[in-house]
Amino acid sequence: MFLPPRHEAIIALAKAQGRVLVDDLAAHFAVTPQTIRKDLNDLCDRRLLSRIHGGALFPSGVENLEYEARREMAATEKIAIGQAAAKLIPDNASLFINIGTTTEAVGEALVDHQGLMVITNNINVANRMRVRAGIEVIIAGGVVRGSDGGIVGEAAVDFIRQFKVDYAVIGVSAIDADGALLDFDFREVKVAQAIIANARHVILVSDSAKFERSAPVRIGHLRQVHTFITDRCPSDEFRAVCREAEVDLIETALMGDAAEEAA
């Protein structure tokens, strides 16, 4: 599902300002307050915003968003990121895919590959890829988080450590300006760290909204990644962080711009 353009714009304003008010939004979009109240109620029902009297708040940095709601955010960007990542992974490769809506987009883009061995702690990825004849899916054991189908805990970490694979596709909840990679659940962080340590080529996939978020648990640093795929890098300063860390940065929005210019 995709959010209507006005809903996307309301979320963007809430991110920038911390909160939005009904009267201000009605004036901004030239619609009635009743229309804005319905918009905010819809967004709050999806847990993309939190309702307050007269408006809504953008969720706190110490709380993760509802998983289904996160899947809807930046959906077009995630599809492009998934397709770009899939182009880097050849047939007959072995790979890890961890939990996340962007990593799921990579899994979706890989379904026509042949001869893949996919090890994952993401039930959603396993369910989507297991039906493909050319893909072998191996799923980690451990505690299943009801919120998103992620498998976490020490059993999952021990399971991951049995493998040494060609590629790892990882997602994160937030990226700091200094290149720190962050998440909300320390149990998932341990799984992600094991995945990074046991892959020959690590591909980080993240939409640009992750640059605007904060999370309390450190996974690692960008220097542990080989390729970073995002829709758009926020600044030249962060591009410099990528260069210093010797990370190959791929911006799918720029690829689209180049294709339009060529056409």
Render pLDDT for 135-190 as a digit per residue (tens, 0 to 9). Answer: 999 999 988 887 778 898 899 999 999 999 999 999 998 999 999 999 988 888 99
Q: 17 and 86: one domain? A: no
Q: 132 and 256: one domain? A: yes
Q: State the pLDDT confidence band at 2, using cuts at 50, 70 and 90.
A: low
pLDDT tens digit sequence for 190-234:
999 999 999 999 999 999 988 988 888 999 999 999 999 999 998
Q: What is the pTM of this model?
A: 0.75
Supply the pLDDT for residue 261: 47
> Long-range contacts of range 7-11, CB-CB < 8 Å, 24 or more positions apart?
7/39, 7/42, 7/43, 7/48, 10/39, 10/40, 10/43, 10/49, 11/43, 11/48, 11/49, 11/58, 11/73
Domain with 29 in it = 5-59
Into how many domains does the chain fold? 2
Q: 46 and 123: one domain? A: no
Per the domain annotation, does 81 fall within a domain? yes
CATH number at residue 43: 1.10.10.10
Q: 45 and 124: one domain? A: no
Q: 42 and 104: one domain? A: no
- Is the pLDDT reported for residue 133 higher than 80? yes
State which of 14, 36, 59 marks the end of a domain.
Answer: 59
Q: 223 and 108: one domain? A: yes
- Is the pLDDT reported for residue 128 higher than 80? yes
Q: State the pLDDT confidence band at 58, using cuts at 50, 70 and 90.
A: confident
Per the domain annotation, does 65 fall within a domain? no
